[in-house]
Every structure is written in C-alpha cells, then in structure tokens.
C-alpha cells in the first residue's frame, strides 16, 4: 500500500483500484508492485508529453492568429523608409505617430465615418423594432397560417442574397435611390435569422405571465413592452451588436449602389482610397502608396470592433453560438 500516497492524478485512480484487487491475491501482489510503478511512471510521462504537445500546438496557432494584428500595428508605426527596408524590422526603430494623423486626413475619412455610424444606428434601431414586433407575433399571437408563414420565412434563409440583389438593384435604381442613405438601410431591415433568434427567446417566457397580464387588463403592446422585452434583453443586445458590426463591415452592396464618395461607408473608403503621404501628394499628383499610412487606416477601422468585442464578448458569443442550436 506504500504506493497510495504517491497516487494523485485521476488517471492513476483506475490503476489504484486494480492494484487493490491484485493485493488481495497475495501471490501476485509482489510482482505487480514493481510493474505498477513503471506503469505509473510511463503514464505520467505520457501525460506530460500530451500536455506539452497540446500547449505547443495551441500557442503556435495562437501566434499565427495574432500575427496579422501585430504586423498591422507595428507597420502603422514605422516610417516609410523603415517600411521599405529589404529585410523588414519586427519592431519599429522609431515610432511614427504622424501616420495616424495623415490617415485621418485622407480625403473622405470623416464623411465615411459619420455615414457608417449614422447608417449603423438608424438601421439597427429600425431593425430591432421590426424584429421584436415580428418575433412577438410568431411567438405569442395566434392567427391562421402563422406556422406556415414562419416556415416560408425560414426557407428564405437558404436562398443566397445575390438572387435578391439583382432585382433589388433594379428596384432602387427605379426609385432613384442610388447614391443615398436609404439604399444602405431599407433593403436590409428585415433579418429572418434575428426574428428566429428572438422568437425562440420569447417562446421560453411562460404563457402564465401572458394570461396574468391579460387578467390585469394589459394590452398586447403593453405586455410586450413591460414583460417580454426586459426578459429577452440579452438576445436583443446580441442582435444590436451583430447588426452594428454588420453595418461597420458591409462592403459589396455599398460599392455597387453608391459611386458618389459622399455616401461611402468606411470599408469602401478603406479599399478605394489611395494612401499617399502629404509630402508625396504635394510633390506629384500620383504618389507611391505609403503603406504605413494605409496600415494606420486599417488600425483605425479595426479598433472600434475590438473595443466592442472586449466589452460585449459575452453577447457576441451568445448570438453566434445560438445560431448553432438545433430546432
């Protein structure tokens, strides 16, 4: 039994039980004691190897994951001369914060930023109202054809958006909405996925609450406002954040319908601007791309997303992983 004190890890527990049963049988107890110790040692060594390999694997991929961010940030702080060294430096010799000032002065930045924030806020607010109303109708109200209609809506999620885009482009052109703000907002107000997400959440709220409210004489609208929305708040926050991030990242549609720079969103501005230093621009009309300034612009566009991620991680992961639940 002298081995017992050494035994600590869970894996060895099973071995221990084996040993007990062996030692009851005196004849083989002496033989197994030595066998056990080598076995335990081998097991421990194997365990350490597995742990080491796991950590090396994870840290290697964590490094690959983080490297583009690292490269973006340090490149944004280099001078153009240092950036163009034959062998790139992995840490800037001197910090050139002026790149950020230059990036902010690139034509159209502030306009694109205000456009993006405005479009994000307005479309999120309207979209939340529409989603809540629709989710409430599907979760709580009873009317003929409700379940069929919901199934039809879910089926539209399978259709690639490009199929709609073709006709929507014609529609917005006919309406004269090209180069406007509403063209970035109105076609994307309804998201079946968010309706689905919120409906599932509303469904979890017990019916008894609804009947109690009805007995107390509350209208459907008041019940929705005072009971359902507060209880479903986490889901609503998730939807808000995902929608905001969507507006911040949207690119293709804006590129297609708005060729006027005054209506660009931040991603379109980033891809279509030429990043030339002020000195180069003064010297000639077509300067070389100044990559540190370009990288500074990338940092500026990426930072708000990181801040949102740091503060609202729980809600983002909640919204994303919800999309994976069956049913």
Least distance in Å: CB of 34 to other proteins? 20
Least distance in Å: CB of 196 to other proteins? 12
156 binds other proteins (CB under 8 A): yes
Task: Print the binding letters for residues 65-94 with other proteins: x by CB under 8 A, - otherwise.
Answer: xx-xx-xx--x-------xxxxxx------
Choose one: 93-101, 131-139, 196-204, 225-233; the region binding other proteins (CB under 8 A).
131-139
Between residues 30 and 316, which has the closer beta carbon with respect to other proteins?
Answer: 316
Picking from 301, 298, 292, the residue whose alpha carbon sits closest to that of residue 98 is 292
Least distance in Å: CB of 85 to other proteins? 6
- How many Cβ atoms sit within 10 Å of the Cβ of residue 155? 10
Binding test (CB under 8 A) with other proteins, winner from 29, 31, 45, 58: 58
Binding test (CB under 8 A) with other proteins, winner from 158, 176, 207, 217: 158
Cα distances (Å, whole numbers) of residue 292 to 82, 91, 104, 238, 303: 10, 13, 13, 35, 16
* Contact between 300 and 103 (Cβ < 8 Å): yes
Picking from 187, 227, 184, the residue whose alpha carbon sits closest to that of residue 205 is 227
Binding test (CB under 8 A) with other proteins, winner from 20, 51, 203, 314: 51
Span 276-315, contacts to other proteins by CB under 8 A: 291, 294-295, 297-298, 301-302, 305-306, 308-309, 313
List the structure tokens of 55: 């950590």
One-letter-per-residue 3-state SS of 283-301: HCCCCCCCHHHHHHHHHHH
């Amino acid at each position: 039994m002298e081995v017992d004190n050494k035994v600590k890890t869970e894996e060895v527990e099973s071995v221990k039980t084996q040993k007990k049963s062996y030692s009851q049988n005196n004849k083989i107890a002496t033989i197994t004691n030595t066998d056990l110790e080598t076995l335990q040692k081998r097991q421990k060594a194997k365990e350490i190897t597995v742990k080491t390999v796991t950590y090396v694997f994870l840290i290697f991929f964590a490094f690959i994951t983080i490297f583009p961010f690292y490269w973006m940030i340090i490149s944004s702080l280099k001078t153009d001369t240092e950036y163009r060294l034959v062998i790139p430096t992995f840490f800037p010799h001197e910090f050139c914060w002026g790149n950020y000032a230059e990036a902010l002065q690139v034509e159209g930045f502030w306009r694109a930023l205000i456009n993006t924030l405005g479009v994000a806020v307005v479309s999120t607010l309207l979209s939340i109202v529409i989603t809540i109303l629709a989710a409430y109708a599907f979760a709580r109200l009873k009317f003929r054809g409700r379940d069929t209609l919901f199934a039809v809506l879910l089926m539209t999620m399978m259709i690639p958006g490009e199929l709609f885009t073709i006709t929507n482009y014609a529609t917005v052109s006919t309406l004269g909405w090209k180069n406007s703000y509403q063209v970035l907002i109105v076609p994307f107000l309804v998201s079946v996925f968010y309706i689905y997400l919120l409906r599932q959440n509303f469904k979890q709220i017990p019916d008894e609450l609804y009947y109690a409210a009805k007995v107390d004489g509350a209208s459907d609208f008041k019940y929705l406002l005072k009971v359902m929305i507060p209880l479903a708040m986490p889901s609503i926050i998730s939807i808000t954040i995902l929608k905001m991030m969507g507006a911040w990242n949207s690119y293709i549609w804006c590129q297609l319908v708005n060729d006027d720079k005054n209506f660009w969103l931040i991603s379109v501005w980033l891809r279509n601007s030429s990043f030339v230093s002020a000195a180069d621009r003064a010297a000639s009309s077509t300067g070389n791309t100044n990559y540190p300034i370009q990288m500074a612009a990338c940092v500026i566009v990426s930072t708000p997303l990181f801040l949102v991620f740091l503060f609202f991680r729980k809600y983002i992961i909640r919204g994303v992983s919800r999309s994976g639940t069956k049913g």
